[in-house]
Amino acid sequence: MKLAPILLRRLIQAVLVALVISTLAFFLMRSLPGDMAFRVAAGRYGPDMVSVAAAEAVRAELGLGRPMLEALGIWLGRLASFDLGVSFVNGGSVAAQLGHELGYTLRLACAAAVAAFIIAVPVGVAAGSRPGGLMDRGSLVVSVILRSVPPFLMGLVLIIVFSLQLQWLPSAGYENRGSDILPALTLGLGLAGPMSRIVREAVFQVRSQPFHLFARTKGLGARAVMLRHTLRNAAVPVVAYSGTQLALLIEGVVVVESLFSWPGIGHALVHAIFARDVPMIQGAILVMSLGYVALNALIDIAVRVIDPRVEEPA
């Protein structure tokens, strides 16, 4: 198995993504209505303390009066040296703040992915083993419901049930014990629905192959056939297609982190948008985009570890 071509291709993709996303984010921020200097000054000093003089001081300090192309060149030049700039609001390094928040986002995303697999794999295997049965039909209905419910509504339901009614888990924050369970479940349940159908279809396809029937005719028990043949051969499509579902984590963390006051990149992005903190917004968007590229690279590697016969695309 050669990993070098995979890593090289994804590295080139990451560079192109960084260039395109950074440019689009820059022009998007510059096209927003209103005076950016006034919004930044309001974020620093409070809406009641903003004056024309304060806004002009912010404009001069941050260089907001530069021509757009000149400002774009400065931004891309800093990006080439891995410098994301400083926050307009608190003056801190954007890279340092995002690095701190990235740890919390990864913690939440990993917990959600684990929860999704724990739910989806047994349900999908059971449904695929008996197509058309009660488990298959029931899991289809539940899958559609889970995928249709927006993350914020799912989170609110979990908060009402497990935090307000049962008082088992905290409703927000990150310092209390078990504070990551509800946000992880909010993301994980949304992923578990479609992922269980992916597992079901993969198991059904493997069980339809001649080698599976041959293994049963040799006298192997159902458990042995499941472990040696079914799960192993179903793993490649499950990992490959589940990777596209896991990409939804990048979309969901923005809503879920804000709902549960989880101090990750999504939560920081929402606050930066309200404060018109352009460097923080651009940095957060860039990190989330590169996270998508990194996720695809991990999926490529995982597929080839499971089955080295998978060929590199031309």
- CATH architecture group of domain 102-275: Orthogonal Bundle (1.10)
- Please say whether the dihedral angle defined by the alpha carbons of residues 205, 208, 211 and 214, taken in this order, is positive or negative: positive
CA distance 165 to 159: 8
CA distance 262 to 231: 35
Q: Is the pLDDT of residue 313 over 60?
A: no
- CA 141 from chain centre, in angstroms, equals 25
pLDDT given for residue 10 in this prediction: 78
Q: Is the pLDDT of residue 91 over 70?
A: yes
Element (H, E) at 159: none
pLDDT given for residue 224 in this prediction: 61
Specify the residue for token string 């990149």: 265
Q: Is the pLDDT of residue 218 over 70?
A: no
CA distance 171 to 258: 12
What would the pLDDT profile of 46-88 be if each residue is shown by its tens digit?
A: 666 677 777 777 777 777 777 778 888 888 888 888 888 888 7
CA distance 217 to 201: 23
Q: Is the pLDDT of residue 314 over 50?
A: no
What would the pLDDT profile of 219-249 be if each residue is shown by its tens digit?
A: 655 566 665 666 666 777 777 777 777 777 7
Element (H, E) at 293: helix 278-306
What would the pLDDT profile of 14-52 be if each residue is shown by its tens digit?
A: 888 888 888 888 888 777 777 777 777 776 776 666 777
Looking at the DSSP assignment, which residues form a beta bridge with residue 93?
86
pLDDT given for residue 225 in this prediction: 64
DSSP 198-222: HHHHHHHHHHTSHHHHHHHHTT--H
CA angle 247, 253, 291 (to 5 degrees): 45
pLDDT given for residue 223 in this prediction: 62
Q: Is the pLDDT of residue 192 over 80?
A: yes
